[in-house]
A and B are shown apart, each in its own frame.
Chain A
Amino acid sequence: MTETAGVVAITLPQLLLAAGFMVFVGVISLRLALGLERDLAIATVRTYVQLFILGLVLRWVFGIDSPWLVLGLLLLMVGAAAQTIVKRAPDAPKGLFGSSFVSMALTGFIVTFAVTGLVVQVDPWYRAQYVIPIAGMVLGNSMTGIALALERTFADLDAREGELLALVALGATPWEAAGPSVRTALRAALIPTINSMAAAGIVFIPGMMTGQILAGADPLAAAGYQIVVMLMVAAATALGSVLAVMLTYHKRFSADGVFIEKGLREDAR
């Protein structure tokens, strides 16, 4: 075990010890016929490979510290997140990638740079060591919220098919017809965030604060960071979800406001 500046570095034996626990879990899975051995092995290997690569990439990025590299990396992250959102909402209409990308990019960038620029006051503004991890947290969390909001919106619209037909027939605009579904979906998307804010510090120690404490930071300073990040993540989730849903719900309506129900879709599954 080596210790530098209050940080206990993890070395090869410790990494292997962690894997040993996974072997143990694998044995249990085998004995109980859970059929998870393969998935466990793959997941374990992926954890090792992906996180080490991430470490190497970040080390390289931090070393170069170029604003273009940081912005490019952020765009790549947003793209990957938008792709994930599209996959998680299979019932949504086509053209979801664009609006997901825009929502993620807009809220992600604004919130990330609000944290690094105004709260943490990073100098220079693109300092990768701050920008990338904070963007990762903001994008990761808002991605989950946006995916949930979109999935719920289109599932609820389909469930209310008859109601939508009647409402549009009475002269409703797409917004008047879809409104209840949008509200239901946004509420569903924001509740996990609100819950985790309410439980923070009592039920669990949030991830970033844990990391900072393990890295030797003063717990109070770590708490300050965590508060800022949590509120910002909540804001990003809320704004991103609202934006994404507002940009997409009308895609289920024709140009003159008719709800395109399942029976009318060419791509209906």
Chain B
Amino acid sequence: MKAPLLEARDLRVVRSGDAGPLKVLDGASLTLERGEVVDISGPSGSGKTTFVRALALMLPDVAGELFLEGRPAAEVGARVWRSRVALLPQKPVIFPGTVRENLLVPWRLKVRHDTTPPGEDELRAKLDSFGLDDVALDRDAAKLSVGQAARVAMARIGLTRPDVLLLDEPDASLDESAAAMVASLTVRFAETGAVVRVRHHRPDGVATRRERLVAGRLHGVGDSD
């Protein structure tokens, strides 16, 4: 049997809370196949961000096992793992420089030294697909609006062609039409990869599966919206 694209087994995270140790994740498990878009909801403070950060190997002190196409995380290596299981943090990050420079940040990193950075046409097309037709590549990225910045950050991570996209509240700083555009791009991404979204808005018809994080574990909500 073919191994799933991403598998998280029994993740556990303990943090020191105001009233002693707090089990933020207490045996959270998830199996993810290509083509899936999984939405994770849950009360605030239930550990949704902690969970997606753990999936991206972006948290110290996580107990449990993670596999990418059957290979354990330690074997894949943290940096290669992160380049394939890409986390988009909730707060969009824009680096000093132009929009072009922002989109090319991933290729300044050693982990992608043997890959070719996207050309001018690809950058332009990517921005257009996010509805940023009016944003020039030479624009000082500091002058983008919050909604534009969020989409540039998404475009940047999309250009790296990860296998799994982890989106922490992708709609948080988007208006309705931008959110709809991002939703349809999410569907298109899932044709070849898989997506996990932290979301507590009402269902937008994109998720193929919905999970709820309660008491440190995931509970299936239904097979689709």
- Chains A and B belong together in one complex: yes
Which residues of A line the B interface, CB within 8 A? 162-163, 165-173, 176, 254-258, 260, 264, 266
Question: CB distance A169 to B88 under 8 Å?
Answer: yes
**Main SS class of interface, A:** loop
Q: Does B182 contact A (CB under 8 A)?
A: no
Contact flags B139-176 to A (C-beta < 8 A → 1, else 0): 00000000000000100110010000000000000000
Complexed CA–CA distance, A78 and B73 (Å): 43
A165 B82 Cβ-Cβ under 8 A: no
Contact of A171 among B95, B111, B156 (CB under 8 A): B111
Q: Which B residues are within 8 Å of any A CB, using their own CB? A: 16, 56-61, 78-80, 82-83, 86-89, 91, 93, 95, 105-106, 108-112, 153, 156-157, 160
The docked-state distance in angstroms from the alpha carbon of A167 to that of B2 is: 32
The answer to whether A258 touches B86 (Cβ under 8 A) is no
Q: Could you tell me the distance between the alpha carbons of A170 and B87 in the complex, rounded to whole angstroms?
A: 8
Can you offer 8 A-B residue contacts whose CB atoms are under 8 A? Answer: A165-B89, A169-B82, A169-B86, A170-B156, A173-B110, A255-B60, A256-B57, A258-B57
Contact between A166 and B93, CB atoms less than 8 A apart:
yes
User: Contacts A171-B109, A258-B59, A264-B60 known; A162 to B91 CB distance under 8 Å?
Assistant: yes
User: Are A254 and B60 touching (Cβ within 8 A)?
Assistant: yes
The minimal Cβ–Cβ distance linking B22 to chain A, given in whole angstroms, is 13
Tell me whether A171 and B93 are in contact (CB under 8 A).
no
List residues of chain A with CB within 8 A of the CB of B56: 169
* Docked complex Cα distance between A54 and B43 (Å): 64
User: Which chain A residue lies CB-closest to B156?
Assistant: A170
For A176, list chain B residues within 8 Å (CB). Answer: 108-110
Residues in chain B near residue A264, CB distance under 8 A: 59-60
Rank and list the top 9 A-B pairs by shortest CB-CB distance, nearest first: A254-B60, A171-B111, A166-B93, A256-B78, A171-B83, A169-B87, A171-B79, A171-B82, A170-B106
How distant is the Cα of A255 from the Cα of B57 in the complex, in angstroms?
11
Given contacts A168-B58, A169-B89, A173-B111, 4 further A-B contacts (CB under 8 A): A162-B91, A169-B88, A170-B106, A170-B156
Q: How far is the CA of A162 from the CA of B93 in the complex (A)?
A: 7
In angstroms, Cα B58 to Cα A168, docked, is 8
Closest CB of chain B to A171's CB: distance in Å?
Answer: 4
Q: Are A162 and B60 in contact (CB under 8 A)?
A: no
